[in-house]
Amino acid sequence: MKVIQSGVFARTIKKLHKKEKAALDRAVKKIMADPTVGSLKVGDLAGVRVYKFKVATQQYLLGYQYDEGKVVLTLLALGSHENFYRDLKR
C-alpha cells in the first residue's frame, strides 16, 4: 500500500512531540491494516474518512482518503476537534 501525505498534514506532524508521533504511527498502521476503520463523512467531506485516537487525554482526528483501485492511502489532515472539519473542507 502506498501512503501519501498532503502538504497540510506534513507541516502538522513536524510540530508533534515524540509521544504524539509514536501514537500517530500506530494509528496509521491500524488504518493501513483496515482502511475502513475510520468513519465515512458525507456532504462537503464525501469520500473522506476520519479516524479518532488519543494521546494521553488529548483526542486527535486523522482525516484520510483511501483509493481501492490504486491501493493508495492519502493522509489529509491531523488535529484536535476544534476547527478540524472546517480546516479539512479547505
Using CA atoms of 11, 7, 36, 50 in order, give the dihedral in degrees to the nearest 10: 60
Q: In whole angstroms, how far apart are CA 23 and each of 12, 16, 41, 44, 70?
A: 14, 10, 23, 28, 27
Q: What is the pLDDT of residue 49?
A: 96
Containing domain of residue 44, as a range? 2-89
Q: What is the pLDDT of residues 22-79, one digit of tens each?
A: 999 999 999 999 999 999 999 999 999 999 999 989 999 999 999 989 999 999 999 9
62: domain CATH number is 3.30.2310.20
Structural domain count, the chain: 1
Rounded to two decimals, the pTM is 0.91
